[in-house]
Structure 1
């Protein structure tokens, strides 16, 4: 019988073949000329693959602590993927940030473009976009007929995204812009690329028409998903079965605490001013302004590079492979904000921080964004995700496919506050910006639970007390009780309503990381050592993380850890 690690490793190869878009995302080569089958048959095939692997892992007996951990991670993560499929929610996937419509577009961001061979691969993949979007349409219709139609808000917003990428919004289409970058390629290949771009944009235009004319009449009017779907999505994104009421009440308490902390900093920056007035003053301060998109890209690259150099060796063990982190402006059409894409398995493609900027905007305030660079880069997502990719004591599933929002986003939010602890946010303007992000994430806990479960707004909050949450109240709350840019707030409300349970994962995950750090300190564990060992565990759900961190503190852990690393080294050498 195969070992737990061997089954997990094989699953990664099988999954990559069945999901080429995901293979590109995680950097597994060999599938770049293919696209994922998003039809009902494609979803069913991937679910069957997951069920077979789950059964095999369930029957395998772990031989050591590393395999016990691997079994727990795989069973929890893949088990939830199966639950989501069995509930019909994978076929119904349509939202403004992370559904097949965006994934198909974004996969081209991650493809190399250095040689004619690279461009030939892009041409082959472009030709498959129409069929892939046909599969998306088929699944959405099946989901709608089964009573799992997406909300009308998501249908109309994604239609607008598709129109942007198709070149129907007054700007060049995404795919035309992509192939315009082909340099020294043969004329025949250039024509193939242009034809493929035309087909892809035509397919996105047709998708937009389908969404507006055919799916919209079937879409549900109500945005809230209700307790059953929310409970499943919350477990998926957080990796724990939470008490919604306790989490909701904690979100309010955390929001109130952060408001008070922000007022204290605002008092130093602009005595007597409100939070909004302080933010406006910082926006006008030339010390925090960058003119031009390229200059903004250069600003975040410099800040990211400086953080890597300053933290390496002193606060974190950062391998050579992680020292490359590219900062880029994202193509237009997606929601506003920043995101991270991880390195390929062999690090030939580096980790990248992407920034989606509002259309037409050419001047930016940096005081809001310093902590976001730390969140997406180092010591946030890049350090966390790329450390797991480089960690050879883990199997390939743990290194490449085990990302969980509660674990990952919780760590990245923890990393923002950690930079204050380490002295990198001594400027009150940048500190105010970090706190504004913390406040915004606490607000997410409140409105995400509130809107999807239609909870009552408690007394003493000073906001529509006694009423039940609606999307309109969610938008009003985030616009009036936080100081986040209004265009981003509007995008965020759409995001929460289409991605239930994901938004609270930041603050709830950070909560666990902070608790774990205090437990480590109470046991006399060196914090640098705690960070290093915790990150080398790889991604997992929060319940699994609790168990693994508890083992970190056990008396026999270090010996077991060394044995696991020796076993991993032998396994890596033999392969």
Structure 2
């Protein structure tokens, strides 16, 4: 059977990776790993035109069946929002501590193979392309700034600081690119060290450009305003939500979670506070891995154990998905994330964890829930299942469609599922789970509050700064009061929210919708509800917007 939608969207995949080799590497599509994209205005123009053409073509096609109609709707929703962002002028100028073309250029090297001399030749070729890529990106940012399209001053300054760490100019970190090639075959070392040094120097120069030329032109305010934020919220959620209602719900949800935290703390230090319980957990040597290497091994053992015990019980896990790699990242920016497997599964799905420079302890009580979120049953089962189901999903759906509200909502749902299944019976691990749940609820509040310029409700359940208008300082103060993160990690997180509007709330809002959808299916099916069947059907939908997700799950 001819499937016109699948055929056109599959062609779009080929067209995209030809112009964007970084996307090819992240998707695990071979043949482009020695190149970098053209990040100049001309390069962006070419990619934008490709996106517009694909959107128009798919819009004109008729789907052959319900499955292809779902694929068409997903493409029109996702790519349509990409075009909206392009038209609004937000795409090229977006620049933050976590998301920019400059970050993507560095991050792509983390995913490159290093087993053979051919692999190292490919790395060398891509390293040699770094200076031109950054020069093109610099030209783009200069054009955008001249037109008044800039990010906040804070983001330019903080990114410049990141780059100094990556290039070994400051801090205890090492030069990222020099370290990358340090284990190359000896006969190739001279050439690789030369291109690595040039790449590092290019990054150092780009950092100086960001701090001395872009920062003075950046916005003083951190918030982006209602119109910009509403579009970003729709993009990250795949749904339109009432922002003020969601803001109020964030306060209610955070208060609920912190009540649960106080009760859980009593199981750790009877009569004590949450802070007393945290202090006890932090001083417990049994909960400290002691080193980055031991922490990496702990993550791997935890993920492998869950994979083995869940298969056939709570999930049906295909053989290629039964492998996950857990790694401590080579950078010190903070955060945890997941990268999907390559299309042929030769590169496994990988969970990454990055420690900040000031990190001293390698505690497990806060990070058990992170393994469930980034690994199993979170992003790994979700993303790897999508890559695997070529029989149900077209190539664009499997390799290029990602909606934060769907994906991060699933990962937070997975943490909640593990609590329901008894995997947080240990009160320390459960306090860590609740701490991160509360952290995500607090992010809903501050993200919407600061970007919309809202006031703190006078009747907020914490009696905190009623009537004051959100700004960057209040965001940091509120997050500090509602989290147990180290200062370096917390600073990175706050800068992330200030520079990446709409993304942080997608976790909690996504979880909310996943739970609502499951409850509706349970109520409809009654005694016939089967959790494993629900999970299989849900993940087989691929990544779709939260509104279509709820509708699709409502038909199960």
TM-score normalised by structure 2 residue count: 0.97
Would you say the 8 A contact 2:438–2:482 is kept in 1?
no
Q: Is the 8 A contact 2:359 2:486 kept in 1?
A: no
Q: Could you tell me how far apart the structure 2 residues matched to 1:339 and 1:292 are?
A: 20
1:400 aligns with 2:402: no
2:366 is matched with which residue?
368
How far apart, in 1, do the equivalents of 2:475 and 2:39 lie?
Answer: 32
Aligned partner of residue 29 in structure 1, secondary structure: coil
Counterpart in 2 of 1:136? 137
Measure the CA separation in 1 of the matches of 2:485 and 2:191: 44
Give the corresponding residue for 2:379: 381
Q: Is the 8 A contact 2:307 2:376 kept in 1?
A: yes
Match of 1:178 in 2: 180
**1:544 equivalenced with 2:542 (yes/no):** no
CA distance in 2, matches of 1:62, 1:224: 41
Alignment partners' CA distance in 1, 2:190 and 2:210: 30
Query: In the TM superposition, what are the counterparts of 1:35-50 in structure 2 within 5 Å?
Result: 35-50=36-51
Instruction: Please say if 1:220 is aligned against 2:219.
Output: yes
CA contact (8 A) 1:167 1:201 kept: no
1-structure distance, mates of 2:359, 2:264: 28
- Structure 1 CA distance for aligned equivalents of residues 3 and 386 of structure 2: 23
Where 2:289 maps in the other structure, the secondary structure is strand
Residues 129-181 of structure 1 show CA distances to partners (whole Å, capped at 9, x for unaligned) of 00110111111111111211111111011111122222212543111000111
Partner of 1:354: 352
Q: Aligned partners of 1:72, 1:209: CA distance in 2, in Å?
A: 44
Task: Show the counterpart of 1:570.
Answer: none
CA change 1:515–1:409 in 2 (3 A) is same
The 5 A counterparts of 1:132-211 are: 132-170=133-171, 171-183=173-185, 187=187, 189-211=188-210
Change (3 A) 1:160 1:417: same
**Would the alpha carbon gap of residues 157 and 168 (structure 1) be closer, same or farther in structure 2, given more than 3 Å must change?**
same
Q: 1:417-456 residue pairs with structure 2 within 5 A?
A: 417-456=416-455
- Corresponding residue of 2:79: 78
Structure 1 partner of 2:538: 534
Deviation of 1:471 (Å): 1.0
1:291-332 deviation digits (Å, cap 9, x = unpaired): 011011111111111111111111100111111111111112
Give the secondary structure class of the aligned counterpart of 2:362. strand
- Do 1:326 and 1:353's aligned partners in 2 also have CA atoms closer than 8 Å? yes
Taking the TM superposition and a 5 Å limit, the aligned residue runs for 1:409-424 are 409-424=408-423
What TM-score do the two structures reach when normalised by structure 1? Answer: 0.93
For 1:558, the equivalent position in structure 2 comes to none
Displacement of 1:93 after TM fit?
Answer: 2.0
Find the residue that maps to 1:21 and give its secondary structure. Answer: helix
Tell me which residue corresponds to 1:236: 235
Structure 2 CA distance for aligned equivalents of residues 298 and 487 of structure 1: 24
**Residue 272 of structure 1: aligned partner:** 271
Q: RMSD of the alignment, in Å?
A: 1.3
| SS in structure 2 at match of 1:365 | coil
Contact 2:97 2:159 (C-alpha < 8 Å) held by counterparts = yes
Q: How many equivalent pairs are there?
A: 548
Contact 2:387 2:398 in 1 (8 A): yes
1:284 alignment counterpart: 283
Q: Please state how far the C-alpha of 1:483 moved relative to its aligned partner.
A: 2.6
* Cα shift at 1:360: 4.8
User: Shift in Å at residue 219 of structure 1?
Assistant: 1.1
> Once the 2 structures are TM-superposed, how far is the Cα of residue 362 of structure 1 from its aligned partner?
4.2
Establish whether residue 512 from structure 1 lines up as the match of residue 513 from structure 2: yes
- How far apart are residue 520 of structure 1 and its match? 1.2
